[in-house]
Structure 1
Amino acid sequence: MPTADARITAPSPAPTPSVARTCGAILELLLPHRRASEPNAAAPASAFPHQLRRLAAFVAHDEPIVLTLPGFPCKSPNPAKVLGHLPDEGERLSLTFLDALCAEIQKVHAPGARLVICSDGHVFGDLIGVPDEHIDAYSDALSAMIRREELDRLGTFDLRDVLGDLPYDVKRARVHEEYAPTLDALRAEVHADEHTLRLYRGITRFLVDDATGFPGTRSALQRECRRRAYGVIQRSRAWGELIAAHHPRSVRLSIHPQPAGAAKFGIRLLDSRDVWTTPWHASALRQGDGSWELMPRSRAEGLGRLVRRDGAPSHFESDPTSN
C-alpha cells in the first residue's frame, strides 16, 4: 500500500503554442549565461524540459516568474583571494546583472520575474571556517546593496527567515537532520555519478585553497578538506530541499556548473578563467576595454590598482603598463 506521504498527481497538460513560445524565449535569455558542466556548452532550449515546465506554470497563469538562486554565502576566508569579508564590486556587478536579466524577461513576459537570492553561508559556515558574525555582516551588507542600487526585482532569503533567532548551531543541526542525505548515500553517489564527483572535487579544491593557518602537512589538509567537502555537499543539498519546500514552484538556478536537462540551471555571474569562480571567492578586475573578470586578489594586484568605494576596498582597475 502507498504510504501516507505518497502523492498522486496528474501529468501537466501540454502548454499552448503561445505559452511554449514565451517559455522558449525566456530560456533563450538564460542560455548565453549558462554555466555548463559538459565541455560543449551549446544546447538548444528544448534540452531543458524541466525549466520549460516550471516556466510554463507561471506563463500559463500570467504570473510573475520566481527564480531561486542558492549562493552569495560569505567571502572566502583567504585574503589572497578576496578584499575582505564584505560584499564589493564583484557582488554589485553580479546583483545588477541578475536584476537586469529579470528586466529582460519582462520584455517577453509582461508580469516579469523576480529572483530570490537564497544565501547559504550560515548553512555550512562552520565547515568553511567563516564565523557567523562575518556571515551576518555580509548578508546584511548584501541586502543594503540591493536597496541602495534599487534592484527591485531581487529579494533575499536565509536561515534567519526560516528559524528566526535560534543559535546558528541549532539551525544547522535542524536543517541537516530534516533534509540532508546520509553520508553513505552521498559517498555512493560520488563514486557512481560523474557530475557529483566533479562537484565533490571542486568543493574540495576550494576548501584547500581557502584554508589559512592549517597546522598540519599539505596531505593532512587535503584529507581534512575531502572529509569536510562531504559535509558541505550534505548541507547544500539540505538547503536546496528547504528552498524547494518554501518556494516549491520556482525555477531553480545554481552557481555550480550543471548538465543540460538537470533540475537546476547553472548560471554564470561574471567572466572568469575558472568555471567555478564566484564573486565571493575572488576579486573583480576592470580591464582596459571596460570588461570585468574575476580572479584571485593576489593576481589582480599585479595587474591593476586598488579602487576604494565609500572608503572600503572595492575592485581593481587594469594598469595598461602591466603584463
Structure 2
Amino acid sequence: MPLTPAPDTLPTNISAAILNLLLPHHRTTGHARASAEAFPHQLRQISDFVREGAPIVFTLPGFPCKSPNPAKVLGHLPDMGERLSLTFLNALCAEIERIHPPGARMVICSDGHIFGDLIGVPDEHIDAYADELRVLISGLGLERLSVFDLRDVLGDLPHDAKRSHVHEAYAPALESLRAEIGTDDHTLALYRGITRFLVEDTADYPGTRSALQRQCRQRAYGVIQRSRAWGDLIADHHPHSVRLSIHPQPIGAPKFGIRLLDAPDVWTTPWHSAALHRADGSWTLMSRTRAAQQGRLVLRDGRPSHFTQGRAA
C-alpha cells in the first residue's frame, strides 16, 4: 500500500515544483544550473503561501522608465519589450496556478521616481511610463499583474520630497556601502554594472569621457542606496512576498534574479534597449542602433514598437 506523504511535506513538494517553473528563467551570477533545494529562502516563503492556501505574491522591482539615451531605446514610453515581458510574467503566474490552484500574482514595483534625479529622466516621463504600464496590463488582460510605485505610498507629494523621504527613512549610510563594495564581490559587480549603465545612458555629455566616468561612479553609489531603500520600503508594504530581481543574483540569495527576455548579457533589460523580432520568430533585446541595422522599424498605434527581420510585424 503506497505511503501517503505527511502533511508537512506537501507544501515543500508543491513549493519545489513552483520553483522549478522559475529556474529556467533564473538570472544568476553563476553558470551552473541549480536545483530547487539550493533556494531554501524562496522555498520557505512559497511554502508559507501554500500552507495557507493563499495566492503566492511576487514583488519585482523594475520597469522604472526608459533610458534617456536615444541610441538605446525607441522613446520614453513602454514598447514591445515591456509588452512581451509583462505577458511572460503573467503567463508564469498562470503556470503556477496549475500546480497551486489559488494561483500567483506579480506586483511590478516601478522604481523610476526613486532614481529619476540620478539617471537624468524627467519625472513626467516616469509618470507617463508607469501609467502606460497600467494601460498595457489592462488592455492585454494580464489580470495577475499590478503596478506599485511611489504614488501608492506618498500620494501627490513633490517628487523630490518623495525621494528625500524614502532615502532618509531607508537608505544605508554611504560609508557602509563603500566598505561593502570593497569587500563583497557581488556588490562590487553591481556597482560596476550600474556605473557602466549610467555612462552608456548619458547622451551629449559636454565633458571628457574620464570626467563622465568619475561622475557616474559617484552617482552609482546613490543608485544602490536608493535601490536598497526601495527594497526595504517594498518589504514593509508587501512583507510576505517572494522577492524577485531583474539583476543577476547568486544561487541561494534572498532575492531571485529573473530573466524577462533573451538578451546578449545578463544586464540588458527592456527599458535599456529595443526589441528585435528575428526571422526565425524569436525575440531578443539590443540597442536601438544595433536593432535598426538588423531589421526594420514597426509602429504600433502610431508609436515605434520594435524592429523585425521578417515581413510580418
Deviation track 1:188-244 (CA, whole Å, cap 9, x = no partner) reads 000110000000000000000000121110000000000000000000000000000
- Written as runs of structure 1 = structure 2, the 5 A alignment for 1:278-317 is 278-317=269-308
Is the Cα–Cα contact under 8 Å of residues 69 and 202 in structure 2 kept in the other structure?
yes
CA distance in 2, matches of 1:71, 1:293: 19
Unaligned 5+ residue runs, structure 2?
1-5
What is the identity percentage for the equivalent residue pairs of Structure 1 and Structure 2? 70
CA distance in 2, matches of 1:60, 1:230: 40
1:237 aligns with 2:216: no
**Partner of 2:147 in structure 1?**
156
Is the Cα–Cα contact under 8 Å of residues 79 and 306 in structure 2 kept in the other structure?
yes
Structure 1 residue aligned with 2:65, among 69, 74, 82?
Answer: 74
CA distance in 2, matches of 1:303, 1:228: 33
**Partner of 2:16 in structure 1?**
24
For residue 319 of structure 1, report the CA deviation from its aligned partner.
5.3
Deviation track 1:44-73 (CA, whole Å, cap 9, x = no partner) reads 101000000100110001100000000000
Structure 1 residue aligned with 2:50, among 54, 59, 80?
Answer: 59
CA distance in 1, matches of 2:284, 2:7: 40
For residue 15 of structure 1, report the CA deviation from its aligned partner.
7.7
Deviation track 1:237-279 (CA, whole Å, cap 9, x = no partner) reads 0000000000000000000000011110000000000110000
The one-letter code of the counterpart of 2:28 is A
CA distance in 2, matches of 1:86, 1:293: 19
Deviation track 1:6-40 (CA, whole Å, cap 9, x = no partner) reads xxxxxxxx9811111100000000000000012x2
**Partner of 1:6 in structure 2?**
none
1:93 aligns with 2:67: no
For residue 41 of structure 1, report the CA deviation from its aligned partner.
3.6
TM-score by length of structure 2 reads 0.97
**Partner of 1:34 in structure 2?**
26
Moved over 4 A (4+): none
TM-score by length of structure 1 reads 0.94
The one-letter code of the counterpart of 1:105 is I
The one-letter code of the counterpart of 2:59 is T
Q: Secondary structure at the match of 2:207?
A: coil
Q: Secondary structure at the match of 1:301?
A: helix
Deviation track 1:87-142 (CA, whole Å, cap 9, x = no partner) reads 00000000000000000000000000000000000001100000000000000011
CA distance in 2, matches of 1:15, 1:115: 27
CA distance in 2, matches of 1:275, 1:64: 29
Is the Cα–Cα contact under 8 Å of residues 277 and 310 in structure 2 kept in the other structure?
no
Structure 2 residue aligned with 1:137, among 128, 133, 146?
Answer: 128
Deviation track 1:152-209 (CA, whole Å, cap 9, x = no partner) reads 0001100000000000000000000000000000000001100000000000000000
CA distance in 1, matches of 2:32, 2:59: 22
1:186 aligns with 2:177: yes
Structure 1 residue aligned with 2:264, among 256, 270, 273?
Answer: 273
**Partner of 1:7 in structure 2?**
none
* Count of residue pairs brought into register by the alignment: 306
Structure 2 residue aligned with 1:123, among 114, 123, 131?
Answer: 114
CA RMSD of the aligned region, Å? 1.1
Q: Secondary structure at the match of 2:293?
A: coil
Q: Secondary structure at the match of 2:280?
A: coil
